[in-house]
Structure 1
């Protein structure tokens, strides 16, 4: 490992720490500061200074290794999202939660797809890997449908809303929305990468076989292995090794199928028997999360290297305002109107619309998938990253105006449960 890489990692972690602390002081989730830190180290800020300090801090020969580390952090994070997916909150509110979730996914998807169709003539076609507008249109619709469940969970906790009806409903809706959005995105990725009817059929069959294997073989096998009568013979280190190996193999499997590694990591997180793991070795999930906490600032920096406001062109400001307007309108109206139609009070419907509009880190994950697939050009990637930041930052102040004041100020590195990463 070169000295340049070690120095670069030191800078990334130090800047992420400082910016996360500043974000917390400004009553924002720590992840907002870490995202801004990653962007600041790229062309958006540091690269503007004479001599291009970005190149000096993060030389070109270190970036492939940083990319590999960021991908590892990403799959560990996505495992945490799947592992923390808990639909227990649906009990007693399943009809309302389902209606709100569908409304706050369908409307943003339709508006996002429509906006992409309008903006497609402004895309840089040389950066796209597909012909025609279908793939960019479908992808932008799916990206607009995302709600950042981990960030939302922290916001709900900080505002003292975990035991409130609206807080419980928001978390349940966000969990369902993200699950639906990832399923839609997986279908889109299959369609984009298949390249024809037979490859498409093959990818669908292989994906279905993979999910069945996780649901019936892996899940049942782990339950048998971690049963109370055998639990005493298996130590925490072995369980940790089994889970980590399964996670990485699942990420590899979806890559081989033609999907992205994040789908395999997420699916494995959903499949593992959470109750048995918590009873046998509760530290396993925390160790995996702590590793992702170390690596995610690298992911934000790699993302920031692709964000360059200077490349927005003459239509940049117009596109930014259009994307933010469509994103906020789709989520807020879709959630609030659906909530009212399902019998939720007006005030709670407004709060739900505000909460479900936060995109956060989950949006960046999807955007990186789109950039890697070639369904986003660099201009739209930059705009969507800006939108993700704006919709996350505005959530806190809006809740403040609605009477939900921050009660907890989490410190950098103080997260304790997988699925609540901020």
Structure 2
């Protein structure tokens, strides 16, 4: 007698798919040179979504990804991304950015403003037609949101890429992190502006005032606690900020980032923090990638969505490279250096996907717009490693445009 599988068994089948397929593609296909495992996981999430797997094998998709399974996966995904964004906030080192403020503000500012302007122009063009603005969004919110999506740099993924390229601890790598860190703060500030809800502005003001007071208290408390207790208090603080930010009309991920950004990096051991981030990325973030893929749709037709993704990709990459090259000319960087920095800063996966998820959650953009942004983020990130590898080799070559050590030296503040 055939017995239908229960929710637990279906959930575990989904988890088996989530972890097995991306790893096999990454390992057997040896994709690391152009698509690291995290990128393969994101692509797998898209392929396993309703727009592709659900369209080709609707019966199988409906059998495994039942509402109860999707609900369980979403719960894990929410907590996973909150943890990841919290760590990204804790790892921000704005003191170092301030120490090199002329170089950092000039580069980070141009690397943000130029692609945001081009992305907003692309969004202005797209929103002439229906299908991109969500039921809860206004045109200016979509234009600003898509513009910022084109300007985003994925700081956590950037760290992984710098490690892979063996330049994380070099002056060039540290400079790139400073630029990305400053832009990371601006990204969440713009998101808060987009999400400003005049019907709940009182709640949002109350949240911000309470947050400032509570953050001072939490910082003081952490100084008095032992290392192990700091982690528990940090996670309690994360959940509290996520809840209150969402209650106020902002998104729980805005609260998650702020809860980490206000903590002193010295409150947590750097090695343990990096290990914690890597553990999150390996163990539960793949669930977020699948959860993201489950939200992709091709309601406007694949051609329109792919066309929008291509337009946004051009705006993002050209804008980022143009902004960084302009900064390089102003700051008199050595030849070839701006190309390396620009291509690194156009890495978009994860943070842009999180950003787009927030816009979709608030119904500011449609599922089709979300899918276009997701495809743009994946393509942008897949370009980074192969392009930067070649540029670094040219930068360091004895007969290249610069001497081996040049281009890797510190810029004066």
- Where in structure 2 are there 5+ consecutive unaligned residues? 1-6, 395-413
Tell me the distance in 1 between the aligned counterparts of 2:239 and 2:281.
13
Contact kept, 8 Å, 2:360 with 2:370, in 1: the verdict is yes
Structure 1 residue 383: Cα displacement: 0.9
Tell me the distance in 2 between the aligned counterparts of 1:124 and 1:64.
26
Q: 1:311 to 1:26 in 2, by over 3 A?
A: farther
Q: 1:335 to 1:372 in 2, by over 3 A?
A: same
Contact kept, 8 Å, 2:86 with 2:238, in 1: the verdict is yes
Which residue number in structure 2 is paired with residue 167 of structure 1? Answer: 173
Return the match for 2:108 from 77, 98, 101. Answer: 101
Matched, 1:384 2:388: no
Matched, 1:178 2:177: no
Matched, 1:79 2:89: no
Relative contact order higher in (CA < 8 Å, ≥ 6 apart): 1
Matched position secondary structure for 1:360: coil
Which residue number in structure 1 is paired with residue 234 of structure 2? Answer: 243
Matched, 1:154 2:143: no
For each residue in 1:11-51, what CA deviation from the matched residue of structure 2 results, as whole angstroms up to 9, or x when unmatched?
A: 21222433444465444332101111211211344224344
Q: 1:252 to 1:299 in 2, by over 3 A?
A: same
Which residue number in structure 2 is paired with residue 194 of structure 1? Answer: 198
Which residue number in structure 2 is paired with residue 220 of structure 1? Answer: 220
Q: TM-score, length-normalised on structure 2?
A: 0.86
Which residue number in structure 1 is paired with residue 304 of structure 2? Answer: 315
Q: 1:283 to 1:160 in 2, by over 3 A?
A: closer
Contact kept, 8 Å, 1:16 with 1:297, in 2: the verdict is no
Structure 1 residue 176: Cα displacement: 0.7
Tell me the distance in 2 between the aligned counterparts of 1:381 and 1:353.
25
Matched, 1:116 2:123: yes
- Where in structure 1 are there 5+ consecutive unaligned residues? 406-422
Contact kept, 8 Å, 1:354 with 1:398, in 2: the verdict is yes
RMSD: 2.5
Matched position secondary structure for 1:121: coil
Q: 1:66 to 1:216 in 2, by over 3 A?
A: same
Contact kept, 8 Å, 2:131 with 2:300, in 1: the verdict is no
Contact kept, 8 Å, 2:45 with 2:292, in 1: the verdict is yes
Return the match for 2:150 from 137, 144, 152. Answer: 144
Tell me the distance in 1 between the aligned counterparts of 2:136 and 2:96.
41
Structure 1 residue 252: Cα displacement: 0.8
Contact kept, 8 Å, 1:103 with 1:338, in 2: the verdict is yes
Matched, 1:265 2:256: yes
Structure 1 residue 250: Cα displacement: 1.3
Moved more, 248-257 or 267-276: 267-276
Give the 5 Å matches for 1:356-375.
Answer: 356-375=345-364
Structure 1 residue 291: Cα displacement: 4.4
Contact kept, 8 Å, 2:90 with 2:261, in 1: the verdict is yes
Contact kept, 8 Å, 2:312 with 2:376, in 1: the verdict is yes
Which residue number in structure 2 is paired with residue 254 of structure 1? Answer: 245
Contact kept, 8 Å, 1:222 with 1:273, in 2: the verdict is no
Return the match for 1:37 from 8, 28, 44. Answer: 44
